[in-house]
Amino acid sequence: MSGNPYLPSRRRFLQWGIAAAASLSYSAVMPAGAFAAQKDWRQAILDRDRWLSLERGKTGEKAVFLYYRYGKGFDPRGYDIACHLLRDVTSGVTYRMDARLIDLLYIIQVWLRLKKLPYHIIINSGYRTPEYNAKLAKSVKKSQHVLGRAADIRIPGLSVEDLNRLARAVGVGGVGIYPGDGFVHVDVAGVRTWKG
């Protein structure tokens, strides 16, 4: 990773994690009612520079990158890295992924970092071309993957049951658990849950 000019140093990423933990620690000591009067916890997580640590399972590509600059918006280079890692690897097609999906991955990752749990997200599947999606046995025709709104993810060291519970607690989209395959599907197309 150190040879990639898009990637910050490990030290910079760790500093970000410490700063995020410090700025969010007030939520752990505030009474529930008092916190309710404050920002939604998800919005509190989003109100800062946003970094992701992602890996594409099939290719082994890894990146730690800034994709959003607080007060300025999405960083084009970081957004492109996210889209590249979430591409249809089989078809070789990169797609402009829904920014809400990238934020969902970020929220999951920050929550895990704050709890000192494994947080490195491995992407099994992101965008799928309609042609590739049609070839998959368990896939639905109108899959959110085809629209760039879904990812199938796993986190080494975290059970699929725990990842499923966390994704459901975030509560911003669909969550499907696939324990036999070892991953959780997350999307930003309306709250619903299922077991595959």
pLDDT value at 32 more than 50: no
Strands (DSSP E) contained in 17-173 are 50-56, 62-69, 73-74, 121-125, 150-154
The strands making up 174-178's β-sheet, listed across from edge to edge, are 73-74, 62-69, 50-56, 121-125, 150-154, 183-187, 174-178, 192-195
Side chain identity at residue 46, one-letter code: L
Q: Which domains does the chain have, with CATH numbers?
A: 10-195 (3.30.1380)
pLDDT value at 88 more than 70: yes
Q: Taking the complete model, does pTM exceed 0.75, yes or no? A: yes
Q: What pLDDT digit, counting tens, does each position of 147-177 carry?
A: 999 999 999 999 999 999 999 999 989 999 9
- Confidence bin at 38 (pLDDT 50/70/90): low
- Within 10 A of 63 (CB to CB), how many other CB atoms are there? 20
Q: What per-residue confidence (pLDDT) applies to 2?
A: 39
Q: What per-residue confidence (pLDDT) applies to 176?
A: 97
